[in-house]
Structure 1
């Protein structure tokens, strides 16, 4: 089959690789019909390269048609249409039973001290072949795949794999009081959905991003927007009675703009042998923290900062004096996708499309064009906000 493979820093290519096969009786094989490029895929393209291996199949936002099921799979049949959550969870362990599927004890990557295995996301999360491919092997197929109808287009369902529940969890974790103000830093795909979900819950939502096209998309959905620039925390306070927003979501993560020293660290990591680079990430502060530190500065006293952006440095410096003094609550973590499915599926299938799933994708291309789209997406060129690949 054809699959998008990691070849090196800022280098991915479509190659012919072996078709996946049933390895365990709980497996299923899915023929991919749509698969998206996620903002966190760009971390593999750049910063997390030391944990990648040449030829790794990447991607973790797929959906498609069931082609084959293992002998123990009872709730899927050939021909079913399914969305595949990005985290691999068993559904029965201590963590899964508590809605913490991203911490599944059955699939935890214990030799790396990581949570549940993820599709297509590096040695840190199990080196499981990903979904930017023609076919995908899905473990624990009786639990993970989300069966969906056949009437609506892929794009109404596809984002149940990651970015829609990730945004939902970010808003839930932000725990903004009814009628309160929620600021969202970063209007990429997760940030776009987070602003719409906040508005759906009746909040005043302010989206912050330096890219005009991203602000314009948010504004189409009735979101107040601000440019991300020096003094943005003061601007947010001025817009919220001098206090700051009740909650802030950081949907940016480790590659935030405005962090020149950490940006240099990212470049230096790329010059080290993989094992040394891994050691540096596991012991040093290599995240670009401008968005996170600004979120902490901007949120009101007693407010909450919710992190959905991915961070990878073990010793990234934090302004603990300010955090303690301001009595800030901080919530974060990989999304527990299946925990939110039952709440999101009715909204996705609503004729009115209240979360705007059909107004997110800016580029639809074949799998062969994926390498060029990675570069376009990373550079934020051509108004690129969300890319869907069709194998």
Structure 2
């Protein structure tokens, strides 16, 4: 079969590989009719998420048709359309039963403390072969796979595999209440769904920060007040619009890749804030260690977190769904403590949200396919990755369709 295979940092290829087979009684084989490219995939390709093993099939978003099920899969049969959650869970451990499917004790073969198991990730996540392929083996299929009703098409269902649930999860963690002022940092696909989710939860005001006009245009259509950080300083824009109070909730939908702006009105301000943070960190470090060792590159908060802390109101909630590798160790806890902030972060427990979101889509309450910008055949995947990685105008979310 055809599959997108990781060969090394910056090196992915569309290869011919062996078709998967049933390995465990709770497995299913799914023929993929649709998959997608996600910003998380770029972390693996760029090397910002280490531990990728050459030969791993990429991709963690998938929709397809059940081809075969193991003897312990009693709720599915061949021929049924299903959406595949990005994260893998057993369904019976204490974490799964509490709804923390992304913290399953059993799915990750590296052990219960190893973290989230998901498709197409590094060794620490399994590894499990991913879903940018013609067929996939799905572990714990009796728990993960969710049937797709006739009212929901593949264009809608593929967005329920990861990014719509993740955006909803970010808004849910942020504890959004009717009337709240919300700031979403990053208008990639997950950020856009966080905006949409916040508005569905009756947020009174939603700000969106990015510098790609095509993404900000989508955010504006959804109802957000858009701030292009190449043209204005996000902190000044948010604070002036909220009467100096700030926002009640912030959702970081960018993660480790959020770099300071290089030019424009926000650039000098960003450098000033970063220098202030450096000086504070140096002061604390010099008190703790005689040699005054400062944080190393990559250990300081990303630009998104620095803006979040400047924009959030006292007693606010910060929700982090952007990807940060385990090597990131630094966060301005002193500021968070003094402001009585609530800080939440995590990988989305997709299986917890997919059934409810599926019902919303089937009822016509929301159409997630509005976020899709490109629908391409799997054969075009390498070119699509290149354009998506460069954030070319209009490239918001790419669906890959089977031949």
Shared fold by TM > 0.5?
yes
CA contact (8 A) 1:27 1:137 kept: yes
CA contact (8 A) 1:105 1:116 kept: no
What is the CA distance between 1:113 and its match in structure 2? 4.3
CA distance in 1, matches of 2:244, 2:18: 59
**Secondary structure at the residue paired with 2:169?**
helix
CA contact (8 A) 2:37 2:397 kept: yes
Q: How does 1:154-193 map to 2 (within 5 A)?
A: 154-193=154-193
Paired position in structure 1 for 2:257: 255
Which aligned runs of 4 or more in structure 1 are off by greater than 3 angstroms?
A: 108-113, 259-262, 283-288
Paired position in structure 1 for 2:286: none
CA contact (8 A) 1:308 1:332 kept: yes
Q: Across the two proteins, how many residue pairs are aligned to each other?
A: 369
CA distance in 1, matches of 2:221, 2:183: 17
CA distance in 2, matches of 1:109, 1:253: 26
Change in 2 beyond 3 A, CA 1:246/1:285: same
Paired position in structure 2 for 1:291: 304
Paired position in structure 2 for 1:381: 392
What is the CA distance between 1:43 and its match in structure 2? 0.4
Paired position in structure 2 for 1:274: none
Paired position in structure 2 for 1:222: 223
Structure 2 residue corresponding to 1:358, chosen from 340, 349, 369: 369
- Tell me how large the CA RMSD over aligned residues is: 2.0
Paired position in structure 2 for 1:76: 76
Q: How does 1:1-391 map to 2 (within 5 A)?
A: 1-48=1-48, 50-110=50-110, 113-203=113-203, 204-229=205-230, 231-258=233-260, 285-286=298-299, 289-351=302-364, 353-354=365-366, 356-391=367-402
CA contact (8 A) 1:30 1:64 kept: yes
What is the CA distance between 1:324 and its match in structure 2? 1.5
CA distance in 1, matches of 2:108, 2:300: 24
CA contact (8 A) 1:34 1:64 kept: yes
CA contact (8 A) 2:189 2:371 kept: yes
What is the CA distance between 1:320 and its match in structure 2? 2.0
CA distance in 2, matches of 1:17, 1:232: 47
What is the CA distance between 1:107 and its match in structure 2? 1.3
Paired position in structure 1 for 2:265: none
Unaligned runs of 5+ in 2: 263-270, 275-295
Change in 2 beyond 3 A, CA 1:315/1:199: closer
CA contact (8 A) 2:213 2:393 kept: no
Change in 2 beyond 3 A, CA 1:49/1:100: closer
CA distance in 1, matches of 2:194, 2:371: 12
Q: Deviations for 1:330-372, whole angstroms, at most 9, x for unmatched residues?
A: 1010001111123212211122x52x41211111111121111
CA contact (8 A) 1:11 1:371 kept: no
State the structure with more CA Rg: 2
TM-score for the superposition, normalised by structure 1: 0.90
